[in-house]
Structure 1
Amino acid sequence: MTKENYVKMLISNKGHNIKSFAREIDIPYTTLSGILKRGIDGASVQNVIKICKALNITVEALQNVENNNHTSEDNNLLSQLIKKYNLTKDDANFMKTFLMLDAQDRETMIKCMTLLTQHTADIIPKRTKPDHKLTPEEKRKIVNDELDIETKAKTS
């Protein structure tokens, strides 16, 4: 993936188009559009810093994007995972973005996700089937279990 496509993907992941992102970072739309068409390497340092800061990435990480490109075999494997697990577009973008992080940033992300999942695993009971297939008794049990967990948490 090129640096320009990577930046476009991050802009899109933030819920922006090029025009709204340019407005957010106070760069003229034509300047940002030109940077993304002609290449980030030709942009002013000040503009690259503004773009990176708004996208929460370092200039070094952006510089390494093309060095961390994945092969078509990697992309094929990713496509298979997307299909196998019926992942959404957001899930796929998350995975692609995660894979483009350097090792230290991936490690940090994994630690954060571990903390999140450990916390929620204690609160949210495991479901064995979708809500609409639960019997009234199963629904009552889940609600009662959740109330018990809340009560224990309050008394602790």
Structure 2
Amino acid sequence: MRKAKVLEKLIKESGYTVRAFAQKCGIPESTLYTILKNGVGRATMDNILTICRNLGIKVEDLERMAEGEVEESQPSYDELITVYTRSKKNLSQEEKMRLARIILEDDED
């Protein structure tokens, strides 16, 4: 159940409702709601991979976050580029701008 709570937190922090995030992922809202309510244990691996990919994390990161082993971190430049190239047709203008801001902030460091 801890993994579901982590997913729910990440979805909210990303500024999505359950409905909007399900649409972004291309999975039924009821499926996402069930995963968040009942846990990820019975969810298909495809759905978990899709959710994690759209949150910009790896399944392994979800495991670690659920165990409290790691703090959430900003994605690396390479991860941002990967997310962008895989989903650029599905990103809104606002999402593209968020990615650009993250990349530009990283350049200032």
TM-score class normalised by the smaller sequence: 0.5 to 0.7
For the structure 1 residues 44 and 15, does the alpha-carbon distance in structure 2 shift closer, same or farther, using more than 3 Å as the test? same
For the structure 1 residues 59 and 117, does the alpha-carbon distance in structure 2 shift closer, same or farther, using more than 3 Å as the test? closer
- In the other structure, the counterpart of 1:8 is 8
- Aligned partners of 1:2 and 1:54: how far apart in 2? 19
TM-score (norm 1): 0.45
For the structure 1 residues 118 and 59, does the alpha-carbon distance in structure 2 shift closer, same or farther, using more than 3 Å as the test? closer
Runs of 4+, deviation exceeding 2 Å: 115-120
Residue 100 of structure 1 is aligned with which of 47, 52, 71?
71
Are 2:63 and 1:63 equivalent residues in the alignment? yes
For the structure 1 residues 118 and 24, does the alpha-carbon distance in structure 2 shift closer, same or farther, using more than 3 Å as the test? closer
- Aligned partners of 1:8 and 1:37: how far apart in 2? 9
Are 2:14 and 1:25 equivalent residues in the alignment? no
Which runs of structure 2 are paired with 1:70-149 in the superposition (5 Å)? 100-101=71-72, 116=105, 119=108
Long gaps (5+) in structure 1: 70-98, 121-156
- Aligned partners of 1:46 and 1:19: how far apart in 2? 18
- Aligned partners of 1:118 and 1:27: how far apart in 2? 35
- In the other structure, the counterpart of 2:92 is none
For the structure 1 residues 56 and 119, does the alpha-carbon distance in structure 2 shift closer, same or farther, using more than 3 Å as the test? closer
Query: Per-residue CA shift, 1:82-103, capped at 9, x if unaligned?
Result: xxxxxxxxxxxxxxxxx524xx
Between the aligned residues of both structures, percent identity stands at 30
When Rg is computed on C-alpha atoms for both structures, the one with the higher figure is: 1
Contact 2:49 2:59 in 1 (8 A): yes
Counterpart residue type for residue 41 of structure 1: G
- In the other structure, the counterpart of 2:88 is none
- The higher-RCO structure (CA 8 Å, 6+ apart) is 2
